[in-house]
Amino acid sequence: MNPATTAFIRQRFTEYYKKTVLIAPPALEQREWGFVLFNPGASEMRMRRHVGFSGRDELFEYLKNVVPQHTYYSTAYYEKPDAGTMADKGWCGADLIFDLDADHIVRGPYDQMLARVKEETEKLIAMLLDEFGMDPKTIELVFSGGRGYHVHVRDLAFRGWGSAERRELIDYICGIGIDPAAMLTGKNSQNPGWQNRYRAALSGYLHWIGTLPEQEAMAHLTGMEGIGKDSAITFLKNREEIIAEIEHRPSGMILKNRVLSIVIAQQEGEFRKRLLSSAALADEPVTTDTKRLIRLPTSLHGGSGMRVQPLELRELHTFDPLTDAVVFGTRDVRVDCRLTLKMPMLGSTYELQKGITTVPEAVAVFLCCRGMAEIA
């Protein structure tokens, strides 16, 4: 980002922080704060952290005066949040946090990535409410301002959890460490959970094999180490009986079928893809980190210029980040695009050619923050 572009973005951020009503997290004075400041020409971002505030007014004045490019606060609560080392801060617990980032899930056009990560967020929230029985009043949902969502759980029951307990929870959410024998033993239940998801994924996989031409089905099975031609033929012949057993009479004995046990053990392939589609693909290290810094809701994301937008759970399904988290307007701004691209924003799609062009201010801010354009 060149100096002219930095000046443009910082000026727009300044106007935003002057006029906007910001919100602060609970127990603000127990949080550590971190900021990335505008630094034109710098080869890498550097964070100013170990900052503490005594109250909302002090925080908001700091944001208005300093105008950071990125604003973060700790998910942890500390006795001395502004202490210079982590050991001196005095950890008192931490919110339970889930981070869903489209970069870790799918690659593609920005709007498609946002749509995909919303699906994962909806699955996560359904798990928290329906399977863990969490109180929706303790859950805060936030669009990150970039490529995903943050879910904060502020229930005192979780605050003192260490990394190990949080690891068990995120493993469940992501479907890590599933025991096939446990999934395929016991009666079918109407209750949500991994047993139903696992059986549905396996049954769907076997139905899918039945849609393949015989040669393709054979090639698919024999392509797995340990499955020979005769075993594959027998397996395909018994496929419908295996499906019936999974759907109606599940038993751990089904794993005595060698071909099925090999299919289940694959770390990649069609069955694994179906199984993962049942999980909520949250970023595991974020949940297990009890001292994480996370973006402040209502601040601006320095990599997009969009608002880190808090949401009610009921708003997620209809929320459109490219309209609802956009805070800048439609006045014309001339930019020099570094590449040819399509940019959906504010209900329109802008087809931009490489070189100098005129775009709405909101699009200009986004492109410049992303490093895809400079102010012309």
Residues with active-site annotation: 99, 101, 283
Q: Where are the beta strands (DSSP E) in 52-147?
A: 70-74, 76-78, 91-94, 96-101, 139-143
- Alpha-carbon distance of 343 to 350, in angstroms, equals 5
The terminus-to-terminus CA distance of the chain in angstroms comes to 12
- Alpha-carbon distance of 282 to 119, in angstroms, equals 11
- Alpha-carbon distance of 209 to 213, in angstroms, equals 9
CB-based contacts of 103, cutoff 8 Å, min separation 6 = 113, 147, 148
Residues 269, 272, 278, 279, Cα dihedral to 10°: -120
Residue pair 132/309 in contact by the 8 Å Cβ criterion: no
- Alpha-carbon distance of 375 to 357, in angstroms, equals 10
Beta strand pairing call for 139-143 and 96-101: unpaired
